Structure 1
Amino acid sequence: MTENTSLRRLSTAVVRLILIVFSATVVFPFLWLVYSSFKTSREFMENPVLLPKQLYWENYSHAWVQAKLGSYFFNSILVSVSALLIILLISLTSAYAITRFVNVYTKMLRGLYISTFFLPGIVGLVPLFLMMNDLNLINSRLGIVIVYVAVNISFSVFVLSGFVGQISKEYEEAAFIDGASRYSILFKIILPLSMPAIVTVAVFVFLGLWNEFLYAYTFLSDESLMTVPIGLNNLFAIQKYQTDWGALFAGLTMVLLPTLLFYIFVQKRITSGIATGGLKM
């Protein structure tokens, strides 16, 4: 018994040590980024590790105004929220159809979603660009929203189908008896019951859209339409020659903090959504 207890304590200590080391590798770079955003370029070049002598708030104003980060923020919010709402609407209706109307057409639709889900995004980049170019949707917010919807539908349907499929049909049968239509059942019964899974999908999709670089870099060339990842890439290219590292770190901090706080706020909903719905198709 004593030997088993010692082994258990040793294994627990080893696991805790590994977790502490892993946490340090995640937390320290974040803290370094935040306090470096308050340094002057001279302080950063003298010693990148030391804390700043005083808080240099001008870095944030330089990043927001002079580096046009405010415009990039607006574009990212507009594009990400618009695409997310469309994705949730299409994926919820598709998941309901796939799980409630089992026939050859819904099976084909489910197979289509699954097949596209496992394809790397870069595989269809060239044909997608040619198609969008023919439709005159290159370098437009509408075009990038359509692209984001197309590449994120599969994941959303994949998750929501597993959740909607587990909702008892007795709720729908009772609603049918009361004279409810399919749309009333979908939006008044299925939608509220699926909210944990919808929140889970919304968080993952939104974070993916917010940080997406490849498609935005390919389809957007006008600076007034660029999103945050493209803006940060341009800011990094400029600041390398201007040596204004404080403004660059300030921009990175402003982009990182909202997503971090958003994730912390909804992490319990994410866990409950995954645990309740599962990832079944």
Structure 2
Amino acid sequence: MVEKRLLSDYIWRFVLLIWGSSILLPLIWIFYEALKTNVEFFADIWALPSKANWKNFSNAWTMFGIGQSVLNTLYYVGASLIIGTFLVALKTYALVRLEFRGRKLIWGLIMLSLFLPGITALVPQYVLMRSIHLTNSLTGLVILDSFGENVFFLLLLAGFMKSIPKEVEESAFIDGASLFKVFFRIILPLSMPGIVTVAIFRFLGLYNNFIGPFIYLSDQKKYTIGLNIYNANTMMQYKSNWVTLFAGVMIVLIPSIVVYVLFQKRILEGATLGAVKG
């Protein structure tokens, strides 16, 4: 029995190694391709560069306008992250901690939305955004992503808020605290591990969001990083400057990789802890 268990462990480790390699090897390939010249790239895409050509990274920054797209992304991601995370916490508190008529019906409708593919909302959302003149606007994207809801975030944060003893709120109400004071002074601090986890997931989702900016932004000066790299990719059929494009891709990958490396433990702990508490 012990030998079978050990054999299964080796099998799972081998599967995880293959899976991890399928993620890391393409990134490594893109990185050393970004250090080549175009001549070396077209001569042999698998060969290592004869000399590291770091100038490709500065060329990518200026040629593709990455600097402007970084500023656009900072505004879009930063504003959406702050507003959206706060609204998730507020809505979760209302649905989990407050008793009111129709609460179970609202939860039921939210759960029902899990069976609806998000793509079905694109057309009505676009019609609504166009009617209120918020297309081709980063602020419109911030409003759309902040007030639009992700059920996963509600469920994750609900697990934390349900674990807070009801007596804590009741004693605060007896002492004369208002509903909002209880939320800001008690619920938010005690739910902070879950809120941080939600914020990390939201950052990764917003930073890598492509379909929203692609649909709503038409002015190239307002492009986010993901859309800017896509636009650079379409230019390659005319310029074929692939090594500079690869350098731009590596620059764009840095923020999301850094955030995940720094907070991967918090992501795993927060997700599992929220599931256990829920």
TM range (shorter): over 0.9
Does residue 147 of structure 1 match 2:152? no
- Contact 1:196/1:270 (<8 A) preserved: no
* Aligned residues of 2:36 and 2:53 also touching (Cα < 8 A): yes
Query: Which residue does 2:102 correspond to in 1?
Result: 105
1:87 aligned to which of 66, 69, 84: 84
Superposed, 1:37-76 pairs within 5 Å as: 37-76=34-73
Separation in 2 of the partners of 1:83 and 1:280?
A: 27
Cα distance between partner residues in 2 of 1:92 and 1:268: 22
Amino acid at match of 1:210: Y
Distance 1:255 1:175 in 2: 47
**CA–CA distance in structure 2, aligned partners of residues 231 and 152 of structure 1:** 26
1:35 and 1:149 map into 2 onto residues whose CA distance is: 38
Is the 8 Å Cα contact of residues 163 and 277 (structure 2) preserved in structure 1?
no
1:157-196 matches, within 5 Å, as 157-196=154-193
Q: Which amino acid aligns with 1:176?
A: F
Q: Deviations over 1:11-50 (max 9, x none)?
A: 2222222222222222111111112111111111111122
**Partner in structure 2 of residue 11 of structure 1:** 8
Contact 1:37–1:247, Cα closer than 8 Å, also in 2:
yes
**For the residues of structure 1 that align with 2:115 and 2:208, how far apart are their CA atoms?**
20
Unaligned residue ranges in structure 1 (runs of 5+): none
1:258 aligns with 2:217: no
1:112–1:279 Cα change, 3 Å: farther
What is aligned with 1:214? 211
TM-score calculated relative to the size of structure 2: 0.93
Conserved 8 A contact 1:80-1:206? yes
- Out of 26, 41, 62, which is 1:29 matched to? 26
CA contact (8 A) 1:139 1:221 kept: yes
Q: Distance in 2 between matches of 1:58 and 1:135?
A: 44
Distance 1:152 1:77 in 2: 21
SS in 1 for 2:193: helix
Identity over aligned residues, as a percent?
Answer: 37
* 1:163 and 1:277 in contact (8 A); partners too: yes
Q: Distance in 2 between matches of 1:121 and 1:106?
A: 23
**Structure 2 runs not aligned, ≥5 long:** none
Whether the aligned pair in 1 keeps the contact of 2:76 and 2:138 (CA below 8 Å) is: yes
- Structure 1 residue 90 displacement after superposition: 1.1
Runs of 4+ in structure 1 over 3 Å off: 115-118, 150-155
Mapped contact 2:87–2:147 kept (Cα < 8 A): no
Q: Give me the TM-score of the superposition, normalised by structure 1.
A: 0.92
Q: Alpha-carbon deviation of 1:266?
A: 0.7
Residues 5/272 of structure 1: CA separation in 2 closer, same or farther (3 Å cut): closer
Tell me, yes or no, if the aligned pair for 1:159 and 1:280 is still in contact at 8 Å: no
**Distance apart, 1:248 and its partner CA:** 0.6
Q: Calculate the aligned-residue CA RMSD, in Å.
A: 1.8
Q: CA deviation at 1:164?
A: 0.8
Change (3 A) 1:184 1:150: closer
Whether contact under 8 Å (1:87, 1:156) holds in the other structure is: no
